[in-house]
Amino acid sequence: MQATVLGAGVIGGGWAARFVLHGWDVVVYDHDPNTAVHLEKTLARARQALRELYDADLPPEGELSYATTLTEAIQGADWVQESVPESAEVKRAVYANLQNLLPADAVLASSTSGFKPSDLAQALSCAPQMLVCRPFNPVYLLPAVEVVAGRNTNSATQQRAHAVLTEIGMYPVAVRREIDAHIADRLLEALWREALWLVADDVATTAEIDDVMRYGFGLRWAQMGLFETYRIAGGEAGMHHFLKQFGPALAWPWSKLTDVPDLNAELIDKIATQSDQQSGHLSISALEQQRDNNLVALLRALKQTDSGAGKLINLVDIALQNRTTDLSHR
């Protein structure tokens, strides 16, 4: 099987690593002359992380290659993952150039975190093959992926996408209808805006906000999410009691979620300076390695209790073990 990755930045590179490490051949198309260097570093981190995450052996790695033209990149593709910059115009231009090259049974997936697939696939002949598959960074390690079908996406494409994503160890979440920013970014945007206000109003620094999350509710969210966490907060009476008790607080003027702070030069410098003070002593590479190590440890802890993302890791382990057993009997 062949996956083509268009754009090999942080997200595209993560996709390439996940596909390769799950046995798919990957063809990368990117104009950056340093793509191969960056991708080899990503692949090395991913290889280490997945070997530590799973108890079963990973399948033999697929072949990683680089194309110099779009035609060369698309040829023979079973899956095309578009991860070019987050611009509707740029993405539409890419689709316009590839629509007549796309194999008839291939899936065309966009990594967009904000655009609706129907808006991106306007007037495309390949619209029935196109949908959004929005992952989370690092793509090779975090399993969730938001799957959004467009108005013209056919059922075969949706079924194929679900099967492939599951095969490569991911957890596809079908978004019930198209909406700007899907599910995750609508939640993240609300939190991000409030965090910017807290810094702008000198209520907290970037480090203090991060500390409240990583020492507090972030630990709960990682294992139970939002609604299960609040269900527990309601006690034995459950969610009904929680909503009756805390629901009225939603009308209190606690937040500025509907307002946007002015990201002027002063606020940008303030945030950047505080961020440098917080973790500027560490390189981005060091932070990425620390993040991956912590995610592996967290996922393996959840694996022991078969809860949250750990349940999926156990299922992938079983699938990998069965695959190894099947191959040994051939």
d(CA 159, CA 287): 37
5, 25 Cβ separation under 8 angstroms: no
CATH topology of domain 184-324: N-(1-d-carboxylethyl)-l-norvaline Dehydrogenase; domain 2 (1.10.1040)
Nearest to 200 by CA among 258, 256, 279, 276: 256
Instruction: Give the pLDDT score at 330.
Output: 43
d(CA 9, CA 21): 18
Domain spanning 2-174, CATH architecture: 3-Layer(aba) Sandwich (3.40)
Instruction: Give the pLDDT score at 245.
Output: 83
Instruction: Give the pLDDT score at 28.
Output: 98
Give the residue range(s) of CATH 3.40.50.720 domains in the chain: 2-174
The model's pTM: 0.91
Instruction: Give the pLDDT score at 324.
Output: 61
What pLDDT digit, counting tens, does each position of 244-258 carry?
888 887 777 777 777
d(CA 275, CA 269): 10
Q: Token pair 């990117």 is at which residue? A: 30
Give the residue range(s) of CATH 1.10.1040.10 domains in the chain: 184-324
d(CA 5, CA 173): 21
What pLDDT digit, counting tens, does each position of 3-37 carry?
999 999 999 999 999 999 999 999 999 999 999 99
First and final C-alpha spacing in the chain = 20
Instruction: Give the pLDDT score at 325.
Output: 57
Give mean pLDDT in consecutive 10-residue pieces for the chain, a chain of 330 residues. 97 98 97 95 96 95 97 96 95 94 96 95 91 97 97 96 97 96 94 94 96 94 90 85 81 77 91 91 91 94 94 94 60
